[in-house]
Amino acid sequence: MANALPTRAVLTANDVRSGDIVFWSADGSWTTDINNALISQGTETAETLLSRGQAEEAANRVVGTYLVALRPEDSAEPVPLKLREIRRLAGPSVPVPAAGTETRHAA
Amino acid sequence: MYAYDTHDQAFVEDRAREFRDQVERRLTGQLSEEEFRPLRLQNGLYLQLHAYMLRIAIPYGELNSTQLRKLGYIADTYDKGYGHFTTRQNIQFNWPKLVDTPDILDHLASVQMHAIQTSGNCIRNVTSDPFAGVAADEFVDPRPVSELLRQWSMLHPEFAFLPRKFKFAVTGAAEDRAAMKFHDIGIWAKTDDSGHPVFDLYVGGGQGRTPRVAKPFEPAVALPDLLPLLDAMLRVYNLHGRRDNKYKARIKILVEELGLENYRDEVRAELAGMDTAPFQSAVDEYERIHAQFEAAQPVMEPGESLDLSTASASLQAWVGQNVAAHRVPGWAVVQISVKPKGGIPGDVTGTQMLALADLADAFSAGELRITHRQNVVFPYVRAGDLPGLFKGLQDIGLAEDNIGEASDIIACPGLDYCGLATARSIPVAQELSTMLRAREATDALGPISLNISGCINACGHHHAANIGILGLNKAEKENYQITLGGRSDENATVGEVLGPGFDRDQVPAAIGRVLDTYLSLRSGADERFPDTYARVGKAPFKEAVYVGA
Ligand code: SF4
């Protein structure tokens, strides 16, 4: 049985080529910035977003689309409800160096 | 170490070419994700929490400097400048782009490496003793049989789609440094009265949500009988293993449900009906591999041990803690800690990989090992070279003198990287390592294993640790359960859950109280943590941690 659709959510996926986390934006394209993501309000738009995700997967632009439930309060910044999504959005706890930088272990 | 023959080399090159074609078809839309997913997984390419992740096989943890240099190059060129050594003695890159993976696999093939058998329900990369071939307490070098298993299992047509993944570990020494009894099949190589290798087999060990210590299956199996017997063991598992429930699909559950005796009977019946002719070349192949390992070892003339009387305190401490006995006097097995104070267990930058490769060339005949405790071993170091090696390691931040201490923490990637995680492991390890390094300076805690997993899958081996930590998600908040008394050596034991879990910020204090209790209760400085725990039981620890809180 499918889970109930969240009332406030954004559509997320990974870019097929790069693997980057992306969100579906209001201007009808994928963005890496959740602040530019289209936020669904109510299950109807959530359904629309999900079918958009399926179409995008079929077009081989992204992989693994799903809805990220957001905190219900009407804040300007979308904040995920679940721990996993909070961590996914935040990235690793430790700073990730750019390629070829010096040792991460040096104090 | 083992070098590919032309057949091996052609095979990995073909596989890399095949994958390039598959990626191209994926990118042009000829393959859907559903079609592509099993293909990428067969080449070690996962999709994780943030990005793709490439897991590269390091057979039985053995690498040469050319290979490590290549890994450093890949880290800096195609990833974000670092890689992560895993508890399977493999390496993972956390940020490869799909479009780059064909090039990465080509680079790997050029140094006799690949990412096959690092995913899926097949026989995974075989793990072994990182001191193989040089340990003072070794009966039999476990690498030839590990390599034989690699060749037997790689793309074995019957065992490519087992009920679940399948893990082998091989050791050949008195002390088990390969956590052999926590594997689906553990192999303990010894010698018979005439000096021939024989193999004690253990079956049904594992971690995850149902941790089990492997049971003795068959002692002293002679070399000619080994592969036929293993084949029969896998066949019976393949036939009866629970494909309907992935939590019950490992061989440990089958052995439990059937009963060890019944499983053994079925294996014997299978063996009796098997055509063993295809295995007849295995003994010759073992001899060939064995000879290759022998020939590849540097000539090690016995020499003098290092006089440390005038050495600096830091060098003395590092030699005392990180250097293990070598089978040849005057030589050293050097364990390089990838657990600096406050660092990330098992993470090494591209820069460090390149420097380690140079150090391996200068001080270890160009060879090194990755350990299941996420550290590095240099197997061929002259005692007189220890000061030079120490200096080189200090220069790259890898001279921590904490091998085997509590701060030598195993930690899986957890919720910082892993899509299956329920909590983070890395920040917990970092906080604990900072706290523990301070205590280790004053408290003489002795050897203690402390392992952290970010979910019940237990890749961080928490069940097998003297002190284990399991990260869980409790009402969308990270919560950490402590287990005590586990051990992964020849006396393998599963740790016991101490009690209710802790918030992350409470973990260091709780671990501190566990250590205080151990110090106050141990019978002497040489009574190890799991021995004290086995003697006094859970109650005093529980009281100290919960009542004393
Ligand atoms: S134990 Fe869990 S969180 Fe850690 S690497 Fe394994 S699956 Fe991921």
What is the per-residue pLDDT across B431-453, written as a single tens digit (0 to 9) for each? Answer: 999 999 999 999 999 999 999 99
CB-CB: which of B52, B396, B478 is closest to A19?
B52
pLDDT at A99: 42
Test B27 with A83 for CB contact under 8 angstroms: no
**Is A1 a member of any domain?**
no
Subunit contact A97:B478, Cβ cutoff 8 A: no
User: Are A106 and B473 within 8 A, CB to CB?
Assistant: no
Mean pLDDT of B341-345: 96
pLDDT of residue B169: 97
> B49 C-alpha to center of ligand 1: Å?
11
Mean pLDDT across B105-126? 94
Residue B423 alpha carbon, nearest atom of ligand 1? 3
Task: Report whether pLDDT(B59) > 70.
Answer: yes
What is the phi/psi pair of residue B70, to 5°? -65, -40
Q: Does residue A99 fall inside a structural domain? A: no
Whole-number pLDDT of residue A106 = 39
The tens digit of pLDDT for each residue in B126-142 reads 999 999 999 999 999 99
| CATH 3.90.480.20 domain extents, chain B | 6-110
User: B6-110 architecture in CATH?
Assistant: Alpha-Beta Complex (3.90)
Mean pLDDT across B374-384: 98
- Shortest alpha-carbon distance between residue B406 and chain A (Å): 18
In a domain, A19, yes or no: yes
Q: What is the pLDDT of residue A1?
A: 41
Tell me the chain B residues in contact with residue A23 when contact means C-beta distances shorter than 8 Å: none
pLDDT range class, residue B33, cuts 50, 70, 90: very high
pTM given for the model: 0.95
The pLDDT score that the predictor gives to residue A96 is 77
Which phi and psi (to 5°) does residue B453 adopt?
-115, 145
Q: What percent of chain B has pLDDT over 70?
A: 100
Check CB contact of A57 with chain B, cutoff 8 Å: yes
Q: Which of A68-77, B295-304, B452-461, B534-543 has the lowest mean pLDDT?
A: A68-77
In chain A, which residues have pLDDT < 70?
Answer: 1-3, 74-76, 97-107
pLDDT given for residue A101 in this prediction: 44
Residues of chain B with CATH 3.30.413.10: 127-293, 410-547
pLDDT at A98: 52
Q: Do B421 and A84 touch (CB under 8 A)?
A: yes
Atom of ligand 1 nearest to the CA of B471: 3
Measured in Å, residue B41 CA sits from the centre of ligand 1 at 17
Q: Mutation test of ligand 1: which of B416, B420, B425 has the most ligand atoms closer than 8 Å to its C-beta?
A: B420
Domain count, chain A: 1
| Predicted pLDDT at A105 | 42
What does the pLDDT read at residue A74?
63
- Tell me the residue range of the domain where A20 lies: 8-90
B127-293 sits in which CATH class? alpha beta
Helix (H, G, I), strand (E, B) or coil at A56: helix
Instruction: Give the distance (Å) from ligand 1 centre to CA of residue B208.
Output: 9
Residue B296 backbone dihedrals phi, psi, to 5 degrees = -80, -10
Q: How far is the CA of B274 from the centre of ligand 1 (A)?
A: 38
Could you tell me the two tokens for B231? 């084949």
Task: Pinpoint the alpha helices (H) of B312-456.
Answer: 313-322, 350-363, 386-395, 426-443
- B81·A98 Cβ contact <8 A: yes
pLDDT at B115 over 60: yes
User: Residue A95: inside a domain, yes or no?
Assistant: no
pLDDT at A102: 45
Question: Ligand 1, closest atom to CA B413?
Answer: 5
Assess if CATH 3.30.70.3340 describes domain B313-395.
yes
Q: What angle do CA B522, B528, B531 make, to 5 degrees?
A: 80
pLDDT at A42: 82
Residue A60 contacts B, CB cutoff 8 Å: yes
Query: Nearest chain A Cα to B47, which residue?
Result: A19
Mean pLDDT across B503-513: 98
Distance CA B207, CA B464 (A): 8
Q: Is residue A84 part of a domain?
A: yes
